[in-house]
Structure 1
Amino acid sequence: MALTNTYNDAYLKSHVNEERELRAIDEVAELGTFAADWNSRLVILRTYIITCLECQAQPDDLFAAKLRNYRDEFESVLNQARAATDDDEGNPLPTLTIAIERA
């Protein structure tokens, strides 16, 4: 079985494998149902995150730097995907936000 998505990160794409992509697909599916283009973007980002976590050897190596960036991007894209997702009747799903403050 070949990879489902195209991975463009020149450094990480050689580390992406089918197992990591399948895990990412499952993890994104647990977050909800999204339009195909949003789902694909989320799976690619989640695959990069899994790859970085599994390949990171030092706390300050290139994988760690990419991990921080891809985690931030994943959260942003996830919020956008949720905002663009409609319920079964075609209405936008409500977005819940909670302010978190330090004590």
Structure 2
Amino acid sequence: MPLELTYTDAALKGRITPELEVRARADIDAMGPFLPESRDKLTVLRVYILACLEHGGQRDDAFEVKLGQYRKEFEFIYRNAKRPDGSRVTFMSVPIERA
């Protein structure tokens, strides 16, 4: 089964499998419906994150550095991803007061 999406990270490209892509797609689909372009961007980033988690080893290796970068990028894209109804993902915050 070939990969459905395009992956541009040369260091991770050889470590991406169709199974990893299916797993990432399922993770994104579980997060809610998104417009196709947002869904694909999130899926690619999730594949990169999963690949880094599977192949990372030591605290300062390249996979750990990439993992941190891709997690930040994923959070940014996720917060700005559009849903089919045109809305965006929102987070609710609750102020905490000390007694």
| TM-score bracket for this pair, using the shorter chain length | 0.7 to 0.9
Secondary structure at 1:33 match in 2: coil
Which residue number corresponds to residue 65 of structure 2? Answer: 65
Q: Distance in 2 between matches of 1:79 and 1:3?
A: 26
Could you tell me which runs of 5 or more consecutive residues in structure 2 were left unpaired when the two chains were aligned.
none
Aligned equivalent of 1:97, options 88, 92, 97: 92
Q: CA RMSD in A?
A: 2.0
- Gap change, CA 1:99 and 1:56, over 3 Å in 2: farther
What is residue 31 of structure 2 aligned with on the other side? 31
- SS of structure 2 residue aligned to 1:59: coil
Give the TM-score taking structure 2 as reference length: 0.88
Tell me how far apart the structure 2 counterparts of residues 47 and 71 of structure 1 sit (CA, whole Å): 11
Separation in structure 2 between the aligned mates of residue 100 and residue 22 of structure 1, nearest angstrom: 38
Residue in 2 that maps onto 1:2: 2
The count of corresponding residues between Structure 1 and Structure 2 is 97
Unaligned runs of 5+ in 1: none
C-alpha distance in structure 1 between counterparts of 2:94 and 2:73, whole Å: 20
Partner in structure 2 of residue 74 of structure 1: 74
* Overall identity of the aligned pairs, in %: 37
